[in-house]
Amino acid sequence: MKEEIKNRFLRYVSLDTQSDESSETCPSTAKQLVMLEMLRDELLAMGLSDATMDENGYVMATLPANNGKDGPVIAFVAHVDTSPDMPGVNIKPRLVENYDGGDITLNEELKLILSPNDFPEMKQYAGQTLIVTDGTTLLGADDKAGVTEIMTAVQYLTKHPEIKHGPVKIGFTPDEEIGRGVDFFDVKKFGADWAYTMDGGEIGELEYENFNAAGAKISIQGKNIHPGYAKGKMQNALLMAMELNALLPVFDRPEHTQDYEGFYHLVKMEGSVEKSIIQYIIRDHNKEIFEQRKQVMLDCVNFMNNRYGEGAFTLDLKDQYYNMREKIEPVCHIVNTAQRAMEELHIEPKIKPIRGGTDGSRLSYMGLPCPNIFAGGHNFHGKYEFVPLESMEKATLVILKIIELNGQAESEA
């Protein structure tokens, strides 16, 4: 299985599937369809005869029950796109076999080192095989590791009919990285009772809480006057943007927060003296504090308009997704099953909140409860990204064990 996982993962990451937040289509980039079509065809070749891809790129398929039961129907979901914030084309992954626990030179020319001094979690993988980048692109384990694990598990089950299971749905989505992964996902058509996204980080992660999320785009209208004649007249939109940012609490930034702590994150700043735009993401696990954070942003904009004149600052504030905890807790047995699966495989479950979001958070509010399970990768969205091959193997085994446990529960019922 490990060799199959390796070859499949390397094949998937060779495909450029970056999403594009400036696009208005779904998927946001046509190149995602290349991989999605390939996955559909692979599922058909495995014998999942109902595998389809719709006009928006969503791939859905069913592994029929072989235990004589009709349900419940469980599902596994992953996304194919990679982050638009880091190059994801011409990826040149490298295998570091029998990792010695020390520094890994990613790129000699760039003097780029992946070091446990910076990433101490690397040490737990000594003796394993790490897949790393060449220091010029991301790797794409987010979420091609998840795709690999689901596809490998499906293929294993088709070759081992002695493993009895109920009906299993498979779903692959585009555009998760730009927050639009399930905009047109047809939950009713999918037909699952609950699902798991394979989109988490290190081995053992099991998550059913995530941030409440909003995005804030602030347009700033300045007054550009020749600097020689600017006194009392110029309003520099770039400096006005900096002034607004200074109103936000310094220690409520991602680099100063952890666990359940929320933040304001300045993600983009562009423009000129005449006009500028700044963009933030606003995050908090607590819904009440989340609403307070949005109000703080509104208050800052109002304060700046009072200072520079009405209309100088225009705020576009939109909610993006919500904490799935309230949708998962009523069906907590689905988390318990995943936890039991890990324990039976001698994997320590690490149940913690996601400091981000997944397709599962939105699917949960669309009527499909969907906790998140580790895919095995680290340092997503950057050149230091890596994934242990053994973690992907363990994640695949967790999928198989969940399916097996669910099949046993059906038989006992």
DSSP per residue over 174-221, as a string?
S-GGGT-TTTT--HHHH--SEEEEEEE-STTEEE--B-EEEEEEEEEE
| pLDDT value for 24 | 93
| Overall CATH class of domain 2-209+323-412 | alpha beta
Give CA–CA dist 361/376, Å, rounded.
19
What is the pLDDT averaged over residues 323-352? 96
Rounded mean pLDDT, 216-231: 96
* Residues 389 and 2 sit within 8 Å (Cβ to Cβ): yes
Q: What percentage of the chain has pLDDT greater than the value 70?
A: 99
Residue 350's nearest CA partner among 374, 371, 369 is 374
pTM metric for this prediction: 0.89
Active site residue 176: yes
- Average pLDDT on 80-107 reads 96
Q: At residue 83, does pLDDT exceed 90?
A: yes
Indicate if the pLDDT at residue 412 is higher than 80: no
pLDDT at 104: 98
Q: What is the pLDDT of residue 410?
A: 53
Res. 413: pLDDT tops 50: no
Please give the average per-residue pLDDT across 148-153, as a whole number. Answer: 98
* pLDDT tens string 158-201: 999 999 999 999 999 999 999 899 999 999 999 999 999 999 99
| Residue 55 reports pLDDT greater than 90 | yes
Mean per-residue pLDDT for 48-56? 97
For domain 212-321, give the CATH number: 3.30.70.360
- Please pick, among 176, 177, 252, 385, the residue that the annotation labels catalytic: 176
Instruction: Pick left, alpha or beta for residue 257 (phi over 0 → left; psi -120 to 50 → alpha; otherwise beta).
Output: beta
Average pLDDT over residues 232-248: 97
The mean pLDDT of the chain is: 95
H or E element, residue 61: strand 59-63
State yes or no: pLDDT of 285 exceeds 70: yes
pLDDT value, residue 348? 97
Active-site annotation holder among 81, 199, 205, 385: 81
Give 62-76 pLDDT, tens digit per residue.
999 998 887 799 999
H/E/C letters for each residue in 290-351?
A: HHHHHHHHHHHHHHHHHHHCCCCEEEEEEEEECCCHHHHHHHCHHHHHHHHHHHHCCCCCEE
**Domain residue extents for the chain:** 2-209+323-412, 212-321
